[in-house]
Amino acid sequence: MLVAELKPYNETKSFIEKYQSILVVGCGGCTSLCNAGGLRETEALAAKLRRDTGVNIKSVTIERQCEDEFVIELSRMMEGVDAVLSLGCGAGVQLIAEQFINIPIYPALNTKFVGTSHDRRVFIERCRSCGECRLGSTAGICPITRCAKGLQNGPCGGSENGMCETGNGRECAWCLIIERMKAQGRLHELEAFCEPVQWPGQAPERFECGMGVK
C-alpha cells in the first residue's frame, strides 16, 4: 500500500485561507488504511479548518481517488467550489486535477512510500516501484529499498556483524539476502551479475493491466 501522512496543519491551512468555498476530499483506499486520509481524518481536518478559518467547507470521502469512476462522483459536489483539498496520495491528487482542470487542487498529505503494515500505525518502506522487480533473485528482500546504497550487486564490504555501515541501527540488506539465500540452498545464484535497473525515462509510465501472460 501507499503510505502517506498529513502535512503540517499550518501548511494545509495556508493553502485554503484565500478561498470562500472549499471541498475537502478523503480517500477510502491506502491513505485510509494508514490513518491519514480516510473518513475519520477527512472529517476531523474539515472540522478544524471550519473552526479556524472563515471558509465555507464541504467534505466527502470517496472509495478511491486513483480511479476515474470514483473521482467522477465528485462532479455533483463541485457547484460553487473554489478549490479542492485532497487527502489522497499524489496519484489521487493528480487524477482529481485532471478531471476538474479549472479548479485549483491542493494536497493535504505527503505521500511517503510503498510499504507494509506492522502493528497498528507502524508502516515500513518495502518498495520504490522500480518497474523491474528482482525479488525473485534476492530471496524476497528488496535491495533498492533496504540497502542504504540501493546496491543491485552487494554487499558493499562495509557491513559489520550484519549491520549496515551507515549506522542508525539499520540491518545490512545484503547480509539478510545472503543469509536467506543460504538457508534456501541458493547462494550460488548470487554469483550472477545483476544488470542495473533501466530507470524510466522522462515521460510518466503507462501500463495496461490484465493483458495476460506474455
Number of helices (H) and strands (E) in the chain: give both, helices first: 7, 7
Which C-beta is closer to ligand SF4: that of 28 or that of 155?
Answer: 155
Collapsing DSSP to helix, strand or coil, 57 comes out as strand
- Could you tell me which residues are beta bridge partners of residue 63? none
Tell the smallest beta-carbon distance from residue 175 to ligand SF4 (Å).
6
Which C-beta is closer to ligand SF4: that of 91 or that of 127?
Answer: 127
Backbone angles phi, psi at 167, to 5 degrees: 80, -150
Which C-beta is closer to ligand SF4: that of 33 or that of 148?
Answer: 148
Number of residues that bind ligand SF4 (CB under 6 A): 25
Tell the smallest beta-carbon distance from residue 146 to ligand SF4 (Å).
7
Is-contact 1 37, C-beta < 8 A?
Answer: no
Which C-beta is closer to ligand SF4: that of 27 or that of 141?
Answer: 141
Torsion-angle region of 170 (φ positive above 0: left; ψ -120 to 50: alpha; else: beta): beta
- Strand-by-strand arrangement of the 2-6 sheet: 2-6, 109-117, 123-127
Q: Footprint of ligand SF4 on residues 124-183 (CB under 6 A)?
A: 127-130, 133-135, 142, 144-145, 147-149, 151, 154-156, 158-159, 164-166, 172-174
Residue 112 sits in the site that holds ligand SF4 (CB under 6 A): no
Tell the smallest beta-carbon distance from residue 28 to ligand SF4 (Å).
25
Question: Which H/E stretch holds residue 82?
Answer: none
Which C-beta is closer to ligand SF4: that of 148 or that of 187?
Answer: 148
Distances (CA, A) of 82 to 14, 22, 77, 111: 15, 6, 11, 24
Q: Which residues bind ligand SF4 (CB under 6 A)?
A: 127-130, 133-135, 142, 144-145, 147-149, 151, 154-156, 158-159, 164-166, 172-174
